[in-house]
Amino acid sequence: MNNISVFRNKNNPVLVPNKTILWEAKATFNPSIYFEDGIFYSLYRAISADQDYEGHKLGLSTIGYASSFDGISFDSKRQFVKPEEEFEKFGCEDPRFVMIDDEFLITYTAISAWPPSGNSIKVAIAFSDDLETVKERHLVTPFNAKAMVFFPEKINGKYAAVLTVHTDQPPSRIAIAYFEKRSDIYDQAYWQDWYAHLDEHTLAVSRLNTDQVEVGAVPVKTVDGWVLIYSHIQNYFNAGERIFGVEALLLDLNTPERIIGRTTESLFSAQENYEKNGEVANVVFPSGAVIVNDEFRIYYGAADTVGAFVSVKLAIFLSLLKQSPYKEVIKLRRFVNNPILVPKADRAWQAQAVFNAGAVYLNNKVFMLYRAMSLDNTSTIGCAISEDGFVFNDLSYSPVYVPRMNFETKKEANGFSGCEDPRLTIIDDRVYMFYTAYEGISPPKVALTSILVDDFVNSRWLWQEPIAISNPDIDDKNACLFPEKINGRFVILHRAAGHDIAIDYIDSLEEFKNGLQLEKEGIISARPGHWDGAKIGISGPPIKTEKGWLLIYHGVSEVDRNYRLGYLILDLGDPFKILYRSEYPILEPETDFEKFGVVNNVVFSCGAVVKDGLLFVYYGGADKVMAVATLPINQFLDVLSENK
């Protein structure tokens, strides 16, 4: 909980349209504020009355100017920036401005076509010495972007800005850019190179792929860091359920890409009539921020019609931002050439899908055993090997493991059946494989087999006869073995009855041959109301670190049924004890190969390896293809010291 109370000014709205003036007759909103020598200077978005313009009937957006001595009563209103160039032909929207080196830098959204779309919505910049005239203007981004704000001073001798990429081609990203010289700001070659490395510039802001984030106000410098106000829209892809909220980040003064504090929920959302009713109902969108005495003010657009502001005591605001248990939202980084394995039509056994692979690192190579599915929905297991963890050679002209027992052999034509979702653990001289065995009629079961390491690395697929180790009357799957004994006993994770992660201890794996079945000695539960509220299950086996067992797991949302990945850190001596659980997913369906396939909107992992300090998480996309995403393993563990 934020526990931060913001207060709306009693004079709200403080910026209203003048219906007698054409260029601002419909709306005046999203004010950006520059405060100096007791004067509040504002640039805001104005929308005209509907007019015939370039062959269309529309309300044209331009940029207005106003000033005030108290930040409440604004006057001297006039039109300041209007379309002159092709890149802004159909509108100039949502300005933000700062003064650096005695000139004003004014960024805004430029609309080049009507109706606007992702390809015609980009960032532009205007320069002015006095806010009276524009001396030059340029297109900034060659790609879809909005809401670019400059830090109000150079950082380490460079211009610095944050902007929102893909606002109209979601998922959006808030990212940072640095410029050695002024002309770099609008250098298209600079931006093409920057965009090619977007992941490296992205701030870890977004929490869920169903939400939208967008930069709000120019960052405000405080003794504790830069305060960046931004828009957070929940349920963005369901227009009827969107909730517009305002949130904040606290960024390091010298390295603002480092998040040192943040809100964990909205500071405020639409409540008042002027926020609920207007050109676009139920919208509050932050656009300006200033410190006035001991208060922090946030100016915003309400219902895309008027301008207003809220205030909060600065000291309280900063204190609560710093106390946030969550700083950066940890996200895995996808390999740029994903997917790494795709179905092959000329191999019948993997013609429909290759996905959900277990993985081990042996002899400086990554061995990936993946689930393959034929057109008649039979699952078998293939093998691929990589030296760098990214590029795999598929060894499997035929499966390396096939259904052979009654409990996994197809019973109905074209029904789903076979050996699914392998998970691999090395103990001593054997590779143990847990997998889901299914014959298409009775509930899925956990099956166990193993192979000598020497046979495994030399592609001699001499597997032991598998045994079913779960209750035949209960749906049980997603099982794995810890890579070492704990307190002298083997530890197995699985998902019995379909909702929680179950934990079992056993003295010997040989007991399964004598009829022992998995039970449920302890559980890790789903979290209703969260991204993992409907059900959870493990990904691959836990990875031992000096701070605990790192366990990647999948969760399914009650709301959208998406499969996402998160992680747990479990106590080394007592895996019943959870040291940390990720509040937000580390990977979720965003790319086309994750959103569209045999089962849409799925990222599902069965294995991960550590190579040179980098965690490689292998996952299936939409139950169709294999992909990989990475992150330094220490970033998962740093949260323990941050949250002490």
Domains of the chain, residue spans: 7-322, 344-642
pTM for this model (two decimals): 0.87
Rounded distance between C-alpha atoms, residue 398 and residue 133, angstroms:
72
**What is the pLDDT, as a whole number, of residue 1?**
44
Sheet holding 614-621, edge to edge: 333-334, 625-632, 614-621, 603-611
Q: How far apart are CA 605 and CA 356, in angstroms?
A: 6
Helix (H, G, I), strand (E, B) or coil at 511: helix
pLDDT attached to residue 499: 87
Report pLDDT digits (tens) over 189-210: 999 999 999 989 999 898 888 8
**CA–CA separation, 449 vs 34, rounded Å?**
68
What is the end-to-end Cα distance of the chain in Å, rounded?
18
Tokens of 252: 């390091």
Closest CA to 298 of 281, 285, 316: 285
Query: Which tokens is 356 given?
Result: 């959900």
Mean pLDDT for each 10-residue chunk of the chain (644 residues)? 82 97 98 97 98 96 98 96 98 98 98 96 98 97 97 97 95 96 97 95 89 96 97 88 94 96 93 97 98 97 98 95 83 95 95 98 97 98 97 87 97 96 97 97 97 96 97 95 96 90 95 92 91 96 97 94 96 94 94 97 98 97 98 90 60
In this prediction, residue 643 carries a pLDDT of: 57
344-642: same fold as 7-322? yes
User: In this predicted structure, what is the pLDDT of residue 2?
Assistant: 59
Question: How do beta strands 417-427 and 378-386 pair?
Answer: parallel
Q: Can you give the length of the chain in residues?
A: 644
Cis, peptide link before residue 339, omega less than 30° from 0: yes
**Encoded tokens for 541:** 């086996």
Instruction: Please state, in angstroms and rounded to a whole number, the distance separating the CA atoms of residues 373 and 419.
Output: 10
| Burial class for 155, CB neighbours closer than 10 Å (0-12, 13-18, 19+) | middle
The superfamily in CATH containing domain 7-322 is: Glycosyl hydrolase domain; family 43 (2.115.10.20)
Check: CB of residue 44 under 8 Å from CB of residue 92.
no
Give residue-wise pLDDT tens across range 101-160: 999 999 999 999 999 999 999 999 999 999 999 999 999 999 999 999 999 999 999 999
Residue with tokens 């830069």: 226
Question: Which pLDDT belongs to residue 640?
Answer: 76
For residues 445 and 439, what is the distance between their CA atoms, to the nearest angstrom? 9
CATH classification code of 344-642: 2.115.10.20
Phi/psi of residue 473, nearest 5 degrees: -100, 0
Say what the pLDDT of residue 634 is.
94
